[in-house]
Structure 1
Amino acid sequence: MQIDLTGKTALVTGSTTGIGYAIAAGLAQAGAAVIITGRDESRVVASGQKLRELAPAGASISGVAADLGTAEGCQTLIAAVPKVDILVNNVGIFGLKPFFEIEDAEWQRFFDVNVMSGVRLSRHYMQAMLQQGWGRVIFLSSESGVNIPDDMLHYGFTKTAVLGVSRGLAKLARGSGVTVNAVLPGPTLSEGVTTMLQDEVSRSGRSVEDVAKDFVKSQRPSSIIQRAATTEEVANMVVYACSQQASATTGAALRVDGGVVESII
């Protein structure tokens, strides 16, 4: 299968590092013009430059700095980039915290970043996609949206909400040529997860891959691959879902969870 996104413009939110950056790189390698985003201007510039070095010669790579956890930040992005063919709602935050210590403001912050960013951007960009009869919208959910973790319940809740929004928007776009899907990674060796495991890496002197493998075996024992995924493995699924070849895939929860979720569908 040869995925060719030449002539398509793709916006990937939260894409200066981690899964978002890997998705941006995959889309650029498939020929799409890619816009990356992040809150910090200097990181957007640095990541854009790094991406240009990896992308094919002449690839169109640009970036916008905006806090997409706010309505104002989303409007800043929309003003800078009025129209896209592909929207990947990747931006998100996570963190371990006991339920009884999660205050109202933190619940709201997780909801604004993980859910409302995608709602606001989809509300704007999908309208032009529907008018032109082609478009791709991807929401990054998580296996935690199905297997709600009790040590970060506020995170799991937002990822469940994302599944609901994604499915509803797919139905709204019925028969239009616009597809909407959610991608559900499992434990993935992103920069955020690496940071979370760093204390154990430093204490044990073992590689982050080995520490992550132990984490998966102890905290996600249902994993079939028995290791953390790479960001590129998650990005591969997203790039496929954005492709012309994925035209019959919509309203789906596409799992890249290594088999963590105990379900045959």
Structure 2
Amino acid sequence: MDLQLKGKRALVTGSSAGLGEAIARLLAAEGAAVIVHGRNKSRAAAVAEGIKNDGGQATFVLGDLSTDEGADAVAGNVLADGPVDILVNNAGAYQPRAWMDVSAAEWGKSYNINVLAYVRMIHRLLPAMKTLGWGRMIQIGSSGGIEPFALQPDYLAATAARHNLTVSLARELKGTGITSNTIAPGPMLVENTRNMLLNMAGQYGWGTAWADIERNAVMQFVQNDVGRFGRPEEVAAAVAYLSSPMTNYITGALLRVDGGHTRSV
């Protein structure tokens, strides 16, 4: 299926590795000119170069979106070549800390990194996007923002705020041709997750073969209907779908990509 992304420019924040990289690669494979974003030059450049080696179009920008100065630098470099058609707000960070181990100051830091960074890029890129009469604002949320658990409460509350701001933004964008949607992944099998599970396998008796480790970890902690962790490419496919002109009638929506992990919605 042609998702009609040829000729579109897309910025994917936090795309020098993991989930963001998978999103950037798939958008480029669908014909979009992708701007890879990160804070590490060698990693961001490597992703952009890999996309170009595969026949896609890609550049990269660097900047820390947790500060106004960093967001200004990123937006300035991006807008120097014109408006973006698609913004995928993906950058964020978390630590799996227990409730009482997260100070109020750390809650504030988490909100800045995981919510205000999104707001900064929307503020900076939306005015130029409006001149196109069409666009996509896509936030990456989390199934934990719908059904929170005990660990990392600051991050889960921040992802819930992402879900909320997406709907508010959709109302704000009425009549502009720009849609605003959230994708909420469940637990994803990225490199850090895989390494963590391998380290935990002996403690929990999950076995030594990866297939056994993943199955047992899912049964103990994730408990979804598919029986495995999600893959970044599966979230990337959802992003590509919502980026397409074929989804002009979808806005203010939350699309779960979680294997049935979320039960309350």
TM-score, normalising length: structure 1: 0.92
Structure 1 match to 2:215: 213
Map 1:88-127 → 2, pairs under 5 A: 88-127=88-127
The aligned counterpart of 2:169 is 169
Contact 2:65 2:120 (C-alpha < 8 Å) held by counterparts: no
Determine if the alignment matches structure 1 residue 77 to structure 2 residue 74: yes
Residues 1:183 and 1:101: Cα distance change in structure 2 (over 3 Å): same
Measured in 1, the distance between the counterparts of 2:221 and 2:120 equals 34
Corresponding residue number in structure 1 for 2:136: 136
1:76-116 per-position Cα deviation (integer Å, ceiling 9, x unaligned)? 10111112110000001122111111123321221112111
Q: Structure 1 pair 9/96, CA: closer, same or farther in 2 (3 Å)?
A: same
The answer to whether the Cα contact below 8 Å between 1:135 and 1:179 also exists between their aligned partners in 2 is: yes
- Is 1:180 matched with 2:180? yes
2:238 maps to what in 1? Answer: 237
Query: Matched residues in 1 for 2:227 and 2:151: separation?
Result: 21
Equivalent position amino acid for 1:244 in 2: P
Do the aligned residues in 1 keep the contact of 2:198 with 2:213 (CA within 8 Å)? no
Matched to 2:238, the amino acid is M
Which amino acid is the alignment partner of residue 259 of structure 1? G
Query: What is the aligned partner in structure 2 of residue 253 from structure 1?
Result: 254
- The answer to whether the Cα contact below 8 Å between 1:200 and 1:211 also exists between their aligned partners in 2 is no
Unaligned runs of 5+ in 1: none
1:67 aligns with 2:40: no
2:24 aligned with 1:24: yes
- Give 1:202 deviation, angstroms: 7.6
- After superposition, what is the alpha-carbon deviation per residue over 1:210-244, rounded to whole angstroms, capped at 9, x for unaligned? 423322221122x1112101110111000000001
- Unaligned residue ranges in structure 2 (runs of 5+): none
Provide Cα deviations, 1:121-148, integer angstroms capped at 9, x if missing partner.
0112112222321000100000000011
Q: Are the counterparts in 2 of residues 130 and 173 from structure 1 also a CA contact under 8 Å?
A: no
Residues 43-52 or 180-189, more deviating: 43-52
Worse-superposed segment, 169-178 or 105-114: 105-114
CA distance in 1, matches of 2:250, 2:31: 21
Q: The residue matched to 2:131 in structure 1 has which SS?
A: helix
Q: Is the 8 A contact 2:36 2:60 kept in 1?
A: yes
The aligned counterpart of 1:227 is 228
Does the C-alpha gap of structure 1 residues 195 and 114 become closer, same or farther in structure 2, counting only changes over 3 Å? farther
Q: Does 1:43 pair with 2:75? A: no
* Counterpart residue identity of residue 241, structure 2: Y
Matched length: 259
Q: Aligned pair in 2 of structure 1 residues 217, 202: CA closer, same or farther (>3 Å)?
A: closer
How has the CA–CA distance of structure 1 residues 206 and 70 changed in structure 2, closer, same or farther, with 3 Å as cutoff?
farther
**Moved beyond 4 Å, runs of 4+:** 201-204
Confirm or deny: 8 A CA contact 1:85 1:134 kept in the other structure. Answer: yes
Q: 3-state DSSP class of the match of 2:170?
A: helix
Distance 1:50 1:67 in 2: 23
Residue 25 to residue 162, structure 1, CA distance change in 2 (3 Å):
same
